[in-house]
Chain A
Amino acid sequence: MAALAPTTPWIKGAKADYRVCGVTTLKVDMQTERLIIANAVMAVVCLVLGGIAALLIALTRWQAIHLLDATWFYRLLTLHGVDMLVAWIVFFEMAGLHFGSTALLNARHAAPKLAWSGFILMAVGGLMANFVILFDPKSIVTFTAYVPLKAHPLFYLSYILFAVGALITVITFFINLVVAKREKRFEGSLPLAVFGLMTAAILAVYTLLEGAAAIVPAFFWSLGILPDYDPGIYRNFFWGFGHPAQQVNLAAMVAIWYMLAQMTVGIRPLNEKFSRLAFILYLFFINLGSAHHLLVDPGLSFAWKAVNTSYAMYLAVLGSMMHAFSIPAAMEVAQRAKGHTKGLFGWSRNDRGTNPASALLSCP
């Protein structure tokens, strides 16, 4: 790993404010570290809230217990959806983007103030959504909030604040890449893991824009400014946000998978072209999959449904198949080179259980 000497300041003449990670030997900018911690902590807080809701929902679905009445059941179902499917994953993605665009490139955070403003908007939006759902009976509309089921205007506003905050954070990711390149923190192309995170960031941009296309009109409609909002159009745009939000997560997770494999097992990607092509397939085709939420909708033809729900010939699936080959294959090569050659699968079970990062690696 070609880390710079720890004495090199980030900017000429400026005081060095970073630490060197004892495990990975990566240099971590302290500004970034605080941003990562804030985003990751908020992510876990949302996970806990959504998890508690999930437990109570499960105890209600279990007919022998049937814990909650209908009002509380659907209230917590709404809360669970917003916290789990939006807040938890997007906060954690933002932490990952901050890490990927700085520590992995041996670089500083170039726009910490902008990143904090993004975080604050997301935190305000996330908490506001939780409060509105818990205290306003009108806003029990589930995570999808299908028009013409009308929630309180603050419900839509909280989605908008959260999305704008996320968009700002994604923009700081791109700023960091450009500045790191200009400051010559890395040479040539981006490392594969950062390339993967960049795929996730690009997916996030159009996911959030589609979210705006669905929710902003709904906000004005709930205020009575917009008289009519077509439910079919809303569904189309909402799922352009609701489904790809999980695909951003997928691309980020695969990128982190490459990163962990590199850190724990010491892989070199077998073929950069192969792995990068797989990420590009995600970029172009994965969001078509959101159409499967409209599979039994009126007004859409068979051809439209077939092209979209099949990711245009399953090309995004092909991307996943390629990653599923290339990561384990690179791990096998690295492990065999280290001497773990016993039998056909000896390479796959060396330090599981002793090295927590290796255990993490085997999770996805």
Chain B
Amino acid sequence: MLAPEKTWWKPMGRMEKTWLTVAFVWCVFLTLMMPLWYFMGKQNVPAETYKTTPSQFNETVNAFVEQYKVGEDTINGVTLPVVEAPPGSDVYLRASTWQWYPILQFKKGETYRLHISSMDLQHGFSLQPVNINLQVLPGYDYVATIIPTSTGEFTIVCNEFCSLGHHTMIGKIIVK
């Protein structure tokens, strides 16, 4: 292999300068797109997070279900409560191996604060078919402010491996 000459710090050629400029401008453009999207875009990754514990979050979920339960439905042969809270309120979703609890019901066009946390392992909240994804960690109360824009039934799948029943972990969100 050839070692470089003693003095290899030489000015760049015209082609190199041009290429570097074009590439750098493209980098700046891509960078500007990120804050631009944050302020102009209609959908962004939430950052609001609170510290919690599995038992504390569990109590909140149970109280929430008791207060706003409107019906029942079954997923994987298990009967789950269907819960609808008034628009603008805090709603809670609990992830545990291998269940999303409860089934949430929303009104189209209204705003809700959706809290998600895990009781045990890491889970992945993945709303299908709209493909909205959030990481769910135990000890972290992750809050997403949401406005449902279309009606229908949506499926929540777990997209983080959470031991061997992972593929059976599905839940439901209903928008009316």
Q: Which residues of A contact B (CB under 8 A)?
A: 1-2, 26, 70-71, 74, 104-105, 140-142, 144, 146-149, 186-194, 230-232, 235, 259, 262, 268-274, 294-302, 305-306, 310, 313-315, 317-318, 321-322, 325-326, 329
Contacts and interface: CB of A to CB of B under 8 A. Distances in A.
21 contacts: A141-B163, A142-B161, A144-B161, A189-B4, A190-B3, A191-B4, A268-B2, A270-B16, A272-B9, A298-B140, A298-B142, A299-B49, A301-B47, A302-B38, A305-B45, A313-B27, A313-B28, A314-B30, A314-B31, A317-B27, A322-B19
Interface string B122-143: 1000000000011111111110
B45 A302 contact: yes
Contacts, number: 143
B40 interface: no
Contacts of B12: 271, 273-274
A271 B10 contact: yes
Nearest to B137: A231
B31 A325 contact: no
B164 A140 contact: yes
Contacts of B167: 70
Contacts of A147: 122
Contact of B16 (A74, A259, A274): A274
Given A191-B4, A231-B138, A314-B27, 7 more contacts: A71-B164, A74-B164, A149-B162, A188-B3, A298-B136, A302-B38, A318-B24
A313 B47 contact: no
Interface in B2-58: 2-6, 8-10, 12-13, 15-16, 19-20, 23-24, 26-28, 30-31, 34-35, 38, 44-45, 47, 49
Nearest to B27: A314
B73 interface: no
Nearest to A315: B27
A141 B26 CA distance: 40
Interface in B108-167: 120-122, 133-142, 160-167
B134 A296 contact: yes
A310 B163 contact: no
B164 A191 contact: no
A259 B1 CA distance: 8
B154 to A, nearest CB: 17
A295 B12 CA distance: 37
